[in-house]
């Protein structure tokens, strides 16, 4: 997609900052960032800040995640062409669109609990003519069994513990990434193996809005 000059400069500066701080190290993720412009996913009132490395308010007291967090999570998730992906917490649809770019021939199912945000994300995805993301209204803590199993599952809201249905809906050798904790969370990357669930990576000091719902915050 061709980006207007004022956003292009801001995007270049953001990418440079993320590279220098090592929140972005993977060329494929950089290409996805360049092809899925963040300003398409922020409300009009936030356009001037679209390429700041900060979370921004969208609606219903929710946020579009910080670019550095999205680049790191996307790198950890290591999406391959053709994979079946589940995202919990669609918000603006920006992370869904990045995943859709990377899975290309595959499909992204993204679950959001606020109808207003389902519509916001769907409208944003339409602007980029993205066809391989299905945004679904519902309680993402239950997963989405209809399209399971998933090669990759990403949770973009803070879990007190990993919801059991998500582990059940993960494919063998699949990866699941989620922020886990109360006030501050650790990003935890898990893999489902023949021998059970194995932790691959864990990094502390992230802050997300809470995951609500049946297997979310009480």
Just list the catalytic residues: 65
| Contact partners, residue 45, CB within 8 Å, separation at least 6 | none
Task: Tell me: does residue 109 bind ligand SAM (CB under 6 A).
Answer: no
CA distance 124 to 193: 36
Task: Tell me: does residue 34 bind ligand SAM (CB under 6 A).
Answer: no
**Cβ-based neighbour number of residue 70 at 10 Å:** 24
Q: Identify which of residues 62 and 83 has a Cβ nearer to ligand SAM in the complex.
A: 62
Q: What are residue 175's DSSP bridge partners?
A: 152, 191
Residues touching ligand SAM, count (CB under 6 A): 26
Interface with ligand SAM (CB under 6 A), residue from 38, 39, 72, 113: 113
Interface with ligand SAM (CB under 6 A), residue from 37, 67, 106, 140: 140
CA distance 208 to 180: 9
SS3 content of the chain, % helix, strand, coil (to 5): 35, 30, 35
Interface with ligand SAM (CB under 6 A), residue from 103, 156, 169, 185: 156
Interface with ligand SAM (CB under 6 A), residue from 74, 92, 103, 107: 92
Task: Tell me: does residue 111 bind ligand SAM (CB under 6 A).
Answer: yes
Instruction: State the alpha helices, DSSP H only, in the chain.
Output: 5-20, 27-35, 67-77, 94-103, 115-127, 164-168
Interface with ligand SAM (CB under 6 A), residue from 39, 86, 124, 139: 139
Task: Tell me: does residue 112 bind ligand SAM (CB under 6 A).
Answer: yes
Task: Tell me: does residue 71 bind ligand SAM (CB under 6 A).
Answer: no
Axis crossing angle, helix 5-20 with helix 67-77, rounded to the nearest 10: 60
Task: Tell me: does residue 157 bind ligand SAM (CB under 6 A).
Answer: yes
Question: Which residues contact ligand SAM (rule: CB under 6 A)?
Answer: 62-65, 88-89, 91-92, 94-95, 111-114, 117, 139-141, 156-157, 208-209, 211-213, 216
């Amino acid at each position: 997609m061709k980006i207007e000059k004022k956003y292009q400069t801001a995007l270049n500066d953001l990418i440079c900052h993320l590279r220098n701080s090592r929140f972005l190290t993977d060329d494929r993720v950089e290409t996805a960032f360049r092809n899925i412009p963040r300003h398409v996913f922020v409300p009009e009132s936030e356009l001037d800040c679209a390429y700041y490395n900060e979370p921004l308010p969208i609606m219903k007291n929710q946020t579009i995640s910080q670019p550095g967090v999205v680049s790191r999570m996307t790198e950890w998730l290591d999406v391959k062409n053709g994979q079946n992906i589940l995202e919990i917490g669609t918000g603006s649809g920006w992370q869904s669109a990045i995943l859709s770019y990377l899975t290309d021939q595959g499909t992204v199912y993204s679950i959001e609990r606020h109808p207003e945000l389902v519509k916001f994300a769907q409208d944003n995805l339409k602007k980029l003519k993205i066809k391989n993301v299905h945004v679904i209204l519902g309680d993402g803590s239950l997963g989405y069994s209809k399209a399971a199993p998933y090669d990759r599952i990403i949770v973009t809201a803070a879990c007190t513990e990993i919801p059991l249905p998500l582990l059940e809906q993960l494919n063998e050798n699949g990866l699941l990434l989620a922020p886990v904790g109360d006030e501050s969370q650790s990003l935890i990357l898990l893999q489902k193996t023949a021998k059970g669930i194995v932790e691959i990576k864990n990094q502390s000091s992230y802050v997300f809005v809470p995951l609500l719902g049946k297997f979310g915050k009480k």
